[in-house]
Amino acid sequence: MNLQIPHISIVSPVYRAEKIVPELVKQIIENVSKITDNFEIILVNDASPDNSWHTIAAECQKDRRIKGINLSRNFGQHYAITAGLHYATGEWIVVMDCDLQDRPDEIPTLYAKAQEGWDIVCARRAYRQDKYLKRMSSKMFVVVYGYLSGMKLDGSIANFGIYNAKVIAEYNKMKEQARSFGALLAHLGFKRTAIDVKHSKRFEGKTSYTLSKLLHLSADVILANSNKPLKITVKLGFAISFISFLLAFYNILAHLLGIITVAGYTTTVFSIWFVGGLILFVLGILGLYIGRIFDQVKERQLFIVQETLNV
């Protein structure tokens, strides 16, 4: 049995990609073989409803360097990435999507840049081939997240990149229930850079990321990495207090000028709306944070593996 540590591990979460997996594997092997024959391809099936797992199993039978991980249920892309990284043993680890928008022929370029002394080399999508809605939603997320977290993000950078094994070892130690590969990676530090790469259209089918899923992911990432929403509620409280003061001043003048015929009516109505709305808003923000704490203290598994192949 060959116990040699792979030089490169390629990790790719798989969902609704039964027709893509064979081409994905073919292109990865063609391009990574230009660097080394000592590599492994880790395909993580995130409980895809199609025949993705059977396709992965067929590829695993052809080449033992291809490893299959079948999760017990659908955990989500970033949890599937986490699962794959826990099984990756290479000196260098490449993370890429399965839809071939992340091009395998860019892996040698990323690897060459890493050999200059970088621990992290991210792929910057110079010209994204996504649809307009996805591009705009990504830009909105970057703006909102950047404001709420105080971090500068590059919306053209996603998960695709190459990472030194020591970086992934530290990543695997983080047990946050709210997973975002890019956000957690930014927390680690290390020597990192980014290079422009080509970005392709999806090989087949359409993305599984709906607007609601993007909003849910955005909320998870923001609440897990920033307390600025809580600070905003404090500012909002001061703002509403100031508005209430102006309203009270107006009511005094209106009463003296005889504009208000029912004493106290306007003040009462506006006070209920302002204070009641503020209370509900603050309670909602606090509830979201408490919910994240509740999820974290349960310390449940980040992922559950049902079956593995060639591992």
Q: Domain check: are 14 and 81 in the same one?
A: yes
Same domain, 200 and 257: no
Asked if the structure places residue 3 within a domain, the reply is no
Pairwise CA distance, residues 108 & 95, whole Å? 13
Instruction: For residue range 32-74, list pLDDT tens digits in order.
Output: 999 999 999 999 999 999 999 999 999 999 999 999 999 999 9
Q: Are 208 and 279 in the same domain?
A: no
Same domain, yes or no: 157 and 217: yes
Q: Does one domain contain both 100 and 210?
A: yes
Backbone angles phi, psi at 217, to 5 degrees: -65, -40
Task: Say what the pLDDT of residue 146 is.
Answer: 65
Note whether 264 and 169 are same-domain residues.
no
Q: What is the pLDDT of residue 2?
A: 46
Q: Is residue 191 part of a domain?
A: yes
User: Residue 245's pLDDT is what?
Assistant: 72
| Within a domain: 142 | yes
Structural domain including 286 reads 228-297
Helix/strand/coil (H/E/C) assignment for every residue in the chain: CCCCCCCEEEEEEECCCCCCHHHHHHHHHHHHCCCCCCEEEEEEECCCCCCHHHHHHHHHHHCCCEEEEEECCCCCHHHHHHHHHHHCCCCEEEECCCCCCECHHHHHHHHHHHCCCCCEEEEEECCCCCCHHHHHHHHHHHHHHHHHHCCCCCCCEEEEEEEEHHHHHHHCCCCCCCCCHHHHHHHHCCCEEEEEECECCCCCCCCCCCHHHHHHHHHHHHHHHCCHHHHHHHHHHHHHHHHHHHHHHHHHHHHHHCCCCCCCHHHHHHHHHHHHHHHHHHHHHHHHHHHHHHHHHCCCCCCCEEEEECC
Asked if residue 119 and residue 141 are part of one domain, the reply reads: yes
Whether 2 maps to a domain, the answer reads no
Has residue 1 been placed in a domain? no
233-246: per-residue pLDDT in tens?
A: 777 777 777 777 77
* Mean of the per-residue pLDDT values of the chain: 81
For 5-16, the pLDDT digits (tens) are 899 999 999 998
pLDDT at 28 over 80: yes
Q: Are residues 57 and 175 in the same domain?
A: yes
**b/e 66-89 (16+ beta carbons within 10 angstroms → b):** bbbbbbeeebbbbbbbbbbbbbbe
221 and 235 within one domain: no
Residue 181: the pLDDT is: 84
Q: What is the CATH number of the domain that holds 72?
A: 3.90.550.10
Number of domains in the chain: 2
The answer to whether residue 48 sits within a structural domain is yes
- Answer yes or no: do 207 and 257 share one domain: no
Position 1 confidence tier, pLDDT thresholds 50, 70, 90: very low
Q: Is residue 279 part of a domain?
A: yes
Assess whether 165 and 196 both reside in one domain: yes
For residue 247, is it within any domain?
A: yes
- Give the pLDDT confidence score for residue 76 in this predicted structure: 85
pLDDT at 269: 65
Cβ atoms of residues 164 and 92 within 8 Å: yes
Nearest alpha carbon to residue 96 among 165, 171, 21, 35: 21
Are 220 and 248 found together in one domain? Answer: no
